[in-house]
Structure 1
Amino acid sequence: MRRIDFIVIHCTATPQDTRPEAIQHYWKEYLKWKNPGYHYLIEASGDVRQLATEERICNGVAGHNANSIHVSYIGGVDADNKPLDNRTPAQRQSMRVLIIKLKKQYPQAQIQGHRDFPFVKKACPCFDARQEFNDFTAIVNSI
């Protein structure tokens, strides 16, 4: 079993109606990745797709993938492709449920956004994940 130090929150930086298959096609055909970018992808409807087992290393944050689980929502940009936290209520709810599950499974893991890693020059996930999920250790411990 891999040691997981981070639960990393991402956005796809695409329109909210982007199909998961299109994102996967981009990784494989354009970026030539053998592994997906995220373990979990949350659609606008709130449906959660698991794109890789947690044992598999994904391509979420260069230099930090061996010890991370990656969770992304589809969206994160406005009509002009500028960063925007445009998660739907269903995405917010699904993300909370998934992060609580992962935090229970990996209690030592820090929850943070892609942008919170050193040398990252992206707005991803377009909100402050550390602040939004800072109470999750207490929530998980109370369950």
Structure 2
Amino acid sequence: MRKIDKIILHCSATKEGQHFTAEDIDRWHRARGFAKIGYHHVVYLDGSVHKGRDESLIGAHCLGHNATSIGVCYIGGLDEKNNPKDTRTQAQKEALTGLLDNLKVRYPNAKVYGHNEFAAKACPCFDVKKEFR
């Protein structure tokens, strides 16, 4: 099994309230040349958590950090004008908390980060340090 020291949170960079699936992201990532979806977990608007890439596989979500991280993506992250915004529904917030609690039990040495801590992006469009550290 891979040594996991990071859980990196992302948004799908889609408009608030628009429903997309892990299958949609898989299609987008394959179109960019990825072997499959780059995230390990995707949180839908209704708070349901869906499997992406198997956790045993190296992700494709954060350049330079994929080998030792788990990638988690929530659907949303943009307002109606495509500006970064924390668009998480209450159900998504609760699901992220539960998922992170579960991941931290399985990977006790992992710290939680936002994608924006490793790349010049707004993603995941909320303050991960404030909320999850």
* SS of match in other structure, 2:70: strand
Q: Deviations over 1:3-32 (max 9, x none)?
A: 001000110101232233222111112x01
**Which protein is richer in strand relative to its size?**
2
% identity of equivalent residues = 43
Cα pair 1:6 1:67 within 8 Å, conserved: yes
Structure 1 CA distance for aligned equivalents of residues 113 and 80 of structure 2: 26
Say yes or no: does 1:9 pair with 2:9. yes
Q: Deviations over 1:61-114 (max 9, x none)?
A: 001100000111000001111100010000000000000000111111110100
Q: Which runs of 5+ in 1 are unaligned?
A: 135-143
* SS of match in other structure, 2:77: coil
Letter in structure 2 aligned against 1:5? D
What is the deviation of 1:128? 1.1
Match of 2:82?
A: 81
User: TM-score, normalized by length of structure 2?
Assistant: 0.94
Q: How many residue pairs were aligned?
A: 131
Say yes or no: does 1:122 pair with 2:121. yes
What is the deviation of 1:34? 0.5
RMSD: 1.0
Cα pair 2:10 2:123 within 8 Å, conserved: yes
Q: Please say which structure displays the higher CA radius of gyration.
A: 1
Match of 2:66?
A: 65
Cα pair 1:7 1:68 within 8 Å, conserved: yes
Structure 2 CA distance for aligned equivalents of residues 66 and 20 of structure 1: 21
Structure 2 CA distance for aligned equivalents of residues 21 and 51 of structure 1: 8
